[in-house]
């Protein structure tokens, strides 16, 4: 834990630190022996009490912590359960901040509509991509598995500024991925659509007219940064 002064920068550092260790609140005994010590929720309360702007708490406390964990995961230094615990701790802080933002003002990197294509029920990869993109600041609209093109198009209509992600794990559903991209392009010719999944390749992505291919979640984050840079 950072040397505790009540200076806003120390409070923010503590928030980021607690996100990384997954300590959502004082009740949690993670790390072992820390029960009773403040966690994310308590530090966020303190930051609010010190009039730190909610955007700053989000960016420099909560998101900063999760980004460290995201990088550690990409470098194989932590496992997914550790990322999940950190994400949960971050949500404990977000819940405190939500009432301070008007719904539309909740800052985000953008909206990402993500689904596994029609006929395919594999969703572990999709869920991981969603989780890590959320950690990178994206607002996620997960449209689930076995997504018909119409379902994707409907979701895009609801979130017209979104980027789209498609996942396929079966060789026989790669064709459905092509159909999904075509259907999206018909209504939204310039939409950013990225694709991934074990049998998918860069070449295949080009062939079906997708905007890009990512082999894993961190590549997806970088790809979206290139295709749809933050405003």
Partner 1 sequence: MAVRHYTNLTIDRSEDLIFGRAPHPVTCGHDLTIGAGTVYPEINFTLPPMEVTESTMPAVLDQYQKIIDGVCQRAVDLQVPGLVVEFELLPPMTIEPAWGESIVALLRRALDGYHDKHGLKIALRATPTDVRDGERPVRRRSGRYWEAMRDSFRRCVSAGADMLSIESTGGKEASDDALLQCDLQTMLVALGVLGARDMAFLWDEIGEACKGTQCLSAGDTACGFANTAMVLADRKMIPKVFAAVVRTLSTVRTLVAHEHGAVGPTKDCAYEGPYIKAITGVPISLEGKSAACAHLSSIGNIAAATADLWSNESVQNVRLLGGDAPVVSLEQLAYDCRLMNIAAADGADAARMLRDWLVRSDAALDPQAYVLTPDNVIRVARAIVEADGAFARSRETIAVTLDILREGATDGPLHLNDREKHWLDMLQMQLEMIPTDEEAAIKAACLGTKPDLVPGAYEIDDDKL
Q: Interface residues with partner 1 (CB under 8 A)?
A: 76, 79-81, 84, 119, 121, 123-124, 127-128, 146, 170-172, 174-176, 199, 204
75 vs 102, beta carbon nearer partner 1? 75
Q: Is 148 exposed, middle or buried (0-12, 13-18, 19+ CB in 10 A)?
A: middle
Quote the tokens at residue 152.
């994707």
Least CB distance to partner 1 at residue 118 (A): 10
Is the CB of 17 or the CB of 192 nearer to ligand B1M? Answer: 192
80 lies in the binding site for ligand B1M (CB under 6 A): no
| Binding track, positions 156-185, relative to ligand B1M; x by CB under 6 A | ---------xxx-xxxx-------------
| Min dist. Cβ of residue 85 to ligand B1M (A) | 18
CA–CA separation, 126 vs 130, rounded Å?
6
With tokens 């005994």, the residue in question is 29
31/107 with CB nearer partner 1: 31
Closest CA to 40 of 68, 78, 12: 12
3-class SS of residue 36: coil
Q: Which long-range contacts does 71-74 make (Cβ < 8 Å, 24+ apart)?
A: 73/132, 73/218, 74/218
| Interaction of residue 228 with ligand B1M, rule CB under 6 A | no
Residue 168: in which H helix or E strand, if any?
A: none
- Nearest-approach distance from CB 127 to partner 1, in angstroms: 7
**Taking CB within 5 to 8 Å according to partner kind, which of partner 1, ligand B1M, none is near residue 197?**
ligand B1M
Please tell me the distance from the alpha carbon of residue 194 to that of residue 216, in angstroms, as a whole number. 11
CB of 185 to partner 1, least distance (A): 19
Rounded CA-CA distance 124/86 in Å is 19
Asked if 128 and 180 touch (Cβ cutoff 8 Å), the reply is: no
Q: 7, 49, 84, 121: which one contacts ligand B1M (CB under 6 A)?
A: 121
Contact residues toward ligand B1M (CB under 6 A) are 120-126, 128-129, 165-167, 169-172, 194-199, 214, 216-217, 220
């Amino acid at each position: 834990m950072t040397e505790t002064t009540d200076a806003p920068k120390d409070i923010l550092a503590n928030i980021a630190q607690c996100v990384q260790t997954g300590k959502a609140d004082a009740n949690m005994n993670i790390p072992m022996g820390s029960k009773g010590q403040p966690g994310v929720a308590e530090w966020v309360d303190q930051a609010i009490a010190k009039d730190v702007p909610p955007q700053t708490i989000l960016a420099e406390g909560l998101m900063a912590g999760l980004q460290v964990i995201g990088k550690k995961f990409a470098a194989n230094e932590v496992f997914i359960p550790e990322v999940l615990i950190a994400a949960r701790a971050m949500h404990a802080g977000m819940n405190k901040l939500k009432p301070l933002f008007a719904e539309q003002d909740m800052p985000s990197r953008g909206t990402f509509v993500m689904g596994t294509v029609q006929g395919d029920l594999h969703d572990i990869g999709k869920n991981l991509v969603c989780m890590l993109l959320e950690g990178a600041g994206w607002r996620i609209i997960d449209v689930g598995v076995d997504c018909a093109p119409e379902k994707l198009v409907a979701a895009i209509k609801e979130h017209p500024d979104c980027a789209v992600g498609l996942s396929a794990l079966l060789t026989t559903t790669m064709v459905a991925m092509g159909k999904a991209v075509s259907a999206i392009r018909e209504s939204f010719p310039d939409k950013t659509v990225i694709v991934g999944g074990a049998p998918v390749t860069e070449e295949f992505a080009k062939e079906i007219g997708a905007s890009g291919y990512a082999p894993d979640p961190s590549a997806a984050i970088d790809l979206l940064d290139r295709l749809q840079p933050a405003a």
